[in-house]
Chains A and B, each alone.
Chain A
Amino acid sequence: MRHMMTRREFLAKGLTIVSAGVTAPMFLTRTALALNNPWDQSLTAQAAGRPDWPILVVVQMGGGNDGLNTIVPFVHDEYYRARPHLAVPQNQLLRLNDEVGLNPELKPLKELFDDGQLGIIQGVGYPNPNRSHFRSMEIWHTADPTGTGPKTGWLGRMFDSECPDCGETAGITLSPEMPLAMQGTGGRVVAMDNPARFGFHPVPGAGAQEVEALHALLRPVAGEEPMVDFLTHTEMNALVAASDVGKIASKIATDAGAGYPKDPFSQKLRIVAELIAAGSPTRVYYVGLGGFDTHAAQAGRQDRLLATLGAGLGAFAGDLKDKGLQERVLTMTFSEFGRRVAENDAAGTDHGTAAPMFLMGGPVTPGVHGAHPSLTDLDMGDLKFGTDFRSVYATVLEQWLGVKSDAILNGRFQTLDIVKPHVGAVAVSGLMPGGARVRRA
């Protein structure tokens, strides 16, 4: 059985605005304020008409994917000289143009490329590259190479400033950990592995009374320790999110899954497609594939990972197309860094710098964008970046999600011709009157 209060009931029963004497964090006040927003209903309830806000799916390739063996610069002899054991022979490559070819494990992406559904941005990085996984991942998540700004994520800041009324499920990550990129001050992001199981389940026999008691217990208490206070709000937000997801989960087809491989990565993408199709008000989905830290015996391992990536993304693209959603969903991949040009003697590669990113979906400007980084003009054995990743973020924010990027990225970054301008689409803030920013025609 599933007793779920509506968001409105919950807020009325469990929260009754913030009482005096309790310092509520930002996100709580915002949740309370959303109550009074007359437009809120149109977002949480399934409004008549088809939802058409843009959706971003971020795919994180954790560990530092070797870009040179992903988009292979076959025309340059330096590549083959630097990689006597690891180089992919030219005749195995899936040729993209006169300079580069895709790793043969990425065949599904080649089909998308030929179909005009795939863009590749070469040589993406940032100044003074950091070769630590953690620091570099943090840089990509915060969009702050200096490390001096707030420890919030670029998507989290986007939710905070541009999407205050996107509900408690503005961002969903299909993992137990919440990526820093999604964290803002609003806390309106959800981590889950399965929408059907997501929620509070009372013990048998306790039923609705236990659910009711939990709501009563979670009323904020004045003067609590900060961690108890934080957990109170985390649990409360989780209940609201579960109520939202519960409405969606019931619509998800149980026989779904045809066409997707069985691995966890592909299955997460399947769930994303189902959530989108079921009308979840979510704007950003986050899916991870890890294990790219190939210091030794890279060939078999990276091949397997790329095969997983390609098959999963290919199935996802096909599914979205079948569901008529391919024009609404932009998928973007990234990794914290590429790897050193020269292979090491364990037939692996060490931490490097610039690497390619994939953009997938109907909205992309297809093709290979940006110059391939030089294989001779290196920085300590590493590629020099040609495109700052914050330009890619700026483009995704402005061209796709329809929001201003300057404040989110703490600076002005040039947008790129990698996403097709799309006439008449609404911004990420969706159906918000007055808040909608129509993307440039």
Chain B
Amino acid sequence: MKEKIKLKFDFVSSATLDDKPKDNRINFILNKVKDGTILVTDGVLKPEEEIDLIKETMRRVDDGFPGIEVASLKKPTKGMMNVMERMVDSKERMQSLIAGLTGRPVERTSMRTGLTLIGPAKFIKRVKKNPNSFSVLTEI
């Protein structure tokens, strides 16, 4: 008889992730995903954090954890909202640069509005993305 494998989804508010400094946020996500959890949140990581997530994932790849699958949908911003978003990005980038130069802990950065799913690649076989939706194919 085939062994039953349970798939666990954690729906985490972006506020919970926003409260964590950048490194802790990536640790939080990867600890969950490496345990086999699929994490869904109502926010989108910034591109710089996404690439840090990939980098940290690569450090943790082993025989039982081949990596992650990520899919995200960012709420499009236009006009003033777009300008505001860019201003916040510039401010946070400057804070991060100063933190790096002074050796102080990295400042918190806010997630963008949207939806993100991050899960273990050993269960998620494929993510099919469209501009406004994505579908996830799992195999357990």
Does chain A bind chain B? no
